[in-house]
Structure 1
Amino acid sequence: MKHIFLLLYLVLALEPTLLSAAKPDIVFLLADDLGNADVGWHGSDIRTPNLDKLAAGGAKLEHFYVLPVCTPTRVAFLTGRYPIRSGMQLNVLRQQSKYGMPLEERTVANALHDAGYTTAICGKWHVGHFDKAYWPNARGFDHSLGHLEGIDYFTHHNYFKNGELDWRRNGEDVVEEGYATTLEANEAAAVIRRQPKDKPLFLYVPFTGVHGPLQAPSKEAVAAYQPSMNEQRATLAATMTAVDEGCGRIFAALDETGRRENTLIVFCSDNGGMPPGRNLPYRAFKSSLYEGGIRSPALAAWPGHIKPGTVITEPLHIVDLFPTFVKIAGGSLEQKLPLDGRDIMPVLTEGKPSPHEDILLNAITANDGAIRMGDWKLILNGNDGVTPSVDLATGERKKEGRKAKKERRSEPKAELFNLRDDPGETKDLAAAQPEKVKELRQRYDAYLKAAVKPLQFQNRK
């Protein structure tokens, strides 16, 4: 009996250590086309209470970078490598695309699966659709629900394929009624609830919202934002509220199952917003390498590890999530293809500086790309994204004709900004700081030299 009491005492004494040694669950929530200024914690008129609460309980990542458009960002996250490494840097995949994220790439799902995790994706894939070898279940995910490209929120028909159904569970077509964002969140919550308590979970939720076509869950959801907004912005707001509510259901499932206390949750967008979305105080929109196209609203929370109310202004990049997730999972970062991402947990938990000397924002050609080093940013042949002739003060759009676009592209321009003093990129310092331009240009050219030719050009007949 004496030995039994001693054993019980040792178990109770060691329990906190045993629990802290348990592998954490990892939940990555990705919005689509969400503007930096369209979240509550950035003072938006769009209501996001669940994400605001997450922000208060964790860290706001105020200099978190993604790529200007969807597919390259998702490839960067899944591989931990800049898309220039795989030829996926240029644009989104289209219906006719006969290529995808190269099969030799090891994904974060592969790495976490090997580390003993159940891996699941609920939402939009968009990194390879033309062959099943490129689909989620062939790229490291044990479970998948969602779509391969872009869909109508209610019919789930692919808007690239003339109404073809694009809604699948584990690679098989499935007909389900409901609003896409809601179904994605409900599936994610169900995955959490059925996950064995003794097995860690990696859950990737790339929501359909708020990508076009702008479709709110109901007329009532739009009306809730009127008359303070016009119909188009009210629809966007209702679409984002649906994303926030979906996040709330996922958080509730984590709470109900007792998993929340040992779960790292990260949230961001895949690129900047486009009108009627807002990216202020940053310049431009989706498809641009100005800050409005690539600086994402981002959060990270992990109870007991990331201090509530933390605000991080160190420059970070979505490629960093791969090594960060794998390291806290106790997985291996040894692989054939080297990572560009760095473990950012010391930044999140200890206030350490960014592990990057520089961050490549993208590199297309010798005169089309951008790089950041410290507070300095070099952008080559910049444009304002989906609205290159937009009036940034009013948000009014003007079409840019082919002639104007050709003229702009035929006159390469290097711009230099100090983001600490000028986050809105209003003061080009290239003429005043030629040595800084030269320094950043040399770093940019080194990346460009190592870049793979975009696959969409390699696959043209």
Structure 2
Amino acid sequence: MKPLLRVLTACLMALLSEQYCAHAIEASKPNIIYLLVDDMGYADCGFNGGKDIRTPNIDKLAKAGTVLKSFYVQPLCSPTRAALLSGRFPTRTGVYNVVTPGATWGLPLDERTLPQALGEVGYTTAICGKWHLGEFRPEYRPTQRGFQYQYGHMMGNLDYNTHIRDGKLDWYRDDKPLQEEGYTTTLIGKDASRVIRAQPKDKPLFLYVPFNGIHSPYQVPSSYSEPYKDLPKLRGTVAGMLSAVDEAIGQIVAALDEKGMRNNTLILFSSDNGGARPGQGTMNTPLRGGKGGIYEGGMRVAAFATWPGKIAAGATVDEPLHIVDWYPTLLKLTGASPQQKLPVDGKDIWPVLTKKAKSPHTALLLHGTNTNVKALRMGDWKLLLPASGKMELYNLATDISEKRNLADSQPERVKEMRAQLDALTKDAKPLGGPLPGTDKD
């Protein structure tokens, strides 16, 4: 019996050791939190030049990490979300514009999403906030796209207090309708904090927090807007809305600290597109244009990355980066499999963040809201093909506000960049859905 007992004991110890190692590997993976603010201007937050809105929690996080001064997204809500979760440009997914309520399309089902990839390596995956990538059939909704937990809304432009959009309730938990009272920004912050507090210590967490603040309709409890009563009415309301987002982010960070998770958490922050109604509601200074456009003000957003001891504090990166880059970067960082059937447009930007490396993009596609509106950045130069069809060329190093069109004086550069732009978009997918008529979403 003794030899048999020794064998059984050895087997048990090996099994326990294997389970321990698996738990240890999972626990060593970083927690990842993506904080996405809706329609925020480039210069709305203090860390990026804002002067009239107090954002102490956001600014503190930015100071603790590295600010990304040339970080690009898509010019509208849904395309940016699709780019983040797939690592692919609209030319691949067909998500150039907004997925409206009841639209019979969304992020294509053959896309391997970021939460799916992270779930494969042991992550708890949760979304608290705005989905906006399709809901007309169950398989397009968050819990079918890799998120193990969902809370918030499927669409944009819902009432902040009643959670109604176009006469219908747009508030869910685990993709099922949820009747609940409260200001959406506050509710999202509280639920995200609850997710953190409930997270097992031996499992890594991917928490995606896409706020609907500061998107229209412009609504905020008076306690937030009162400090800004001397600002013009719309600007004061937007300021209050951003203050509410800042407070919610402070609560999320506090939950991380209480749980002892902060030192092993990578926090990413950005807007989903340029500010809406720039100069009135938001501030994109010194950038030209705003939401929906391919000038810098529509696609270049305030952003940072923070991870104590891993990413330098108080630093800035001026290299051009894109939200598609987080997909391959996070897969490599977490040990998730990079193998998939669809090509990824994003590049690993970890060396840029941690070793002062150059951008991995020699040419960065900056696509607009339909197949005919697009731009390309190569180094400091940016070529635009706007709706007019007349090409524009700017040197962003000397003209960040895109005031001096150099296309006529730089014909060879235009020719070279146009050829590169055409090569990157020659196999572009058609539009996934109808063009939006306004910035309602």
Does 18-27 or 28-37 show the bigger shift? 18-27
1:381 matches 2:381 = no
Is the contact between residue 76 and residue 369 of structure 2 (CA under 8 Å) also seen in structure 1? no
Matched residue, 1:195 = 199
1:420 matches 2:428 = no
Provide structure 1 residue ranges, at least 5 long, that are not aligned to the other structure. Answer: 1-17, 383-408
Residue from 89, 101, 111 that aligns with 1:105: 111
Is the contact between residue 161 and residue 181 of structure 2 (CA under 8 Å) also seen in structure 1? yes
Secondary structure of the corresponding residue to residue 128 of structure 2:
strand
Is the contact between residue 84 and residue 363 of structure 1 (CA under 8 Å) also seen in structure 2? no
Residue from 131, 150, 168 that aligns with 2:137: 131
Q: Any residues of structure 2 matched to 1:2-41 within 5 Å, and which? A: 22-41=28-47
CA drift of 1:366 comes to: 7.2
Matched residue, 1:79 = 86
Is the contact between residue 27 and residue 202 of structure 2 (CA under 8 Å) also seen in structure 1? no
Matched residue, 2:411 = 434
Which letter does structure 2 place at the counterpart of 1:202?
A: F
Detail structure 1 runs of 4+ shifted over 4 Å in the superposition. Answer: 18-21, 363-367
Residue from 128, 136, 139 that aligns with 1:122: 128
Give the distance between the partners of 2:162 and 2:434, measured in 1 at CA. Answer: 33
Which letter does structure 1 place at the counterpart of 2:247?
A: E
Residue from 293, 299, 302 that aligns with 1:297: 302
Matched residue, 1:393 = none
Post-superposition CA distance 1:219-247 (Å, at most 9, x none): 132111122x0121110000001111111
Secondary structure of the corresponding residue to residue 244 of structure 2:
helix
Which letter does structure 2 place at the counterpart of 1:134?
A: Y
Aligned-residue CA RMSD (Å):
1.6
Is the contact between residue 225 and residue 238 of structure 1 (CA under 8 Å) also seen in structure 2? yes
- TM-score normalised by the chain length of structure 1: 0.86
How many residues get paired?
407
CA drift of 1:19 comes to: 9.3
Q: Any residues of structure 2 matched to 1:17-416 within 5 Å, and which? A: 22-44=28-50, 45-89=52-96, 91-150=97-156, 151-158=158-165, 162-216=166-220, 218-227=221-230, 229-275=231-277, 276-362=281-367, 367-381=372-386, 409=388, 412-416=389-393
Give the distance between the partners of 1:81 and 1:341, measured in 2 at CA. Answer: 7
Provide structure 2 residue ranges, at least 5 long, that are not aligned to the other structure. Answer: 1-23, 436-441
Matched residue, 1:13 = none
Secondary structure of the corresponding residue to residue 455 of structure 1:
coil
CA drift of 1:326 comes to: 1.4
Q: 1:336 to 1:274 in 2, by over 3 A?
A: same
Post-superposition CA distance 1:278-319 (Å, at most 9, x none): 101000110010000000100100011101111000000000
Q: 1:225 to 1:197 in 2, by over 3 A?
A: same
Residue from 429, 433, 436 that aligns with 1:456: 433
Q: 1:367 to 1:202 in 2, by over 3 A?
A: closer
Give the distance between the partners of 1:19 and 1:36, measured in 2 at CA. Answer: 38
Give the distance between the partners of 2:75 and 2:368, measured in 1 at CA. Answer: 11
Which letter does structure 1 place at the counterpart of 2:104?
A: K
Give the distance between the partners of 2:386 and 2:130, measured in 1 at CA. Answer: 31
Which letter does structure 2 place at the counterpart of 1:235?
A: T
Post-superposition CA distance 1:332-359 (Å, at most 9, x none): 1110001101111111111111111111
Q: 1:51 to 1:19 in 2, by over 3 A?
A: farther
Secondary structure of the corresponding residue to residue 393 of structure 2:
strand
Secondary structure of the corresponding residue to residue 212 of structure 1:
coil
CA drift of 1:368 comes to: 2.0
Give the distance between the partners of 1:233 and 1:66, measured in 2 at CA. Answer: 24
Give the distance between the partners of 1:450 and 1:60, measured in 2 at CA. Answer: 34
